[in-house]
Amino acid sequence: MHSSLSGELPESWFERACPDLIISVEHANATLDFFRDDDDRRVMRGKVQLKGKQICQRCLQTMPVDIDIEIMYAICLHEEMEAGLPEHLDGWIVSPDEKIDVLPIVEDEIILAVSEFAMHDSGQCKIKTEFLDESSAAVEESSQKVNPFSVLGSLKDQLKSGDS
């Protein structure tokens, strides 16, 4: 048996991702396929796409966010089933009498795909940072570096001049 879900996801459905990570969603959709794999596991495979806006952490202006991810979960009835899964499958524990709600899984995947520290590319950001080249930085650092033992040297000189 094979079944599919596909559709647009309104911004109001993203309770956890909006407004903390994504400030606005222009377009979001998901396509999910449910089937049994070759090992007779119940599997959900899907594709999630989102276009929206988020805040640049450098200049605090809006910037585009573009997410295009593929997900794949094995639907498990208990933790032992999940423990025996191959690496390419994530487990999703669902009790047999539970009604499946796929939106939290889709939202989790979007949250994981969004950059935690969103920033424009350096050429596009309104905040300009200037860094010295390595040679001038080394010269500046060496000229500012003070020898911590120079104070002891001056005290030693004072003691010698006082003794004479």
Dihedral sign (CA 154, 157, 159, 162): negative
Q: pTM for the complete prediction?
A: 0.69
pLDDT in tens, the chain (164 residues): 789 999 999 888 888 877 778 888 999 999 999 999 999 999 999 999 999 999 988 888 889 999 999 999 999 998 998 998 998 899 999 988 888 888 889 999 998 998 878 888 877 787 766 654 555 555 555 556 666 666 777 777 777 776 65
Nearest to 32 by CA among 4, 54, 65: 4
- Rounded-to-integer distance, Cα 143 and Cα 120, Å: 35
How far apart, in whole angstroms, are the C-alpha atoms of residue 92 and residue 17? 20
Both tokens of 61, joined, read: 């202006």
Where are the domains positioned within the chain? 3-113, 134-163
Give me the pLDDT at residue 162, please. Answer: 67
Amino acid at 41: R
pLDDT for res 130: 61
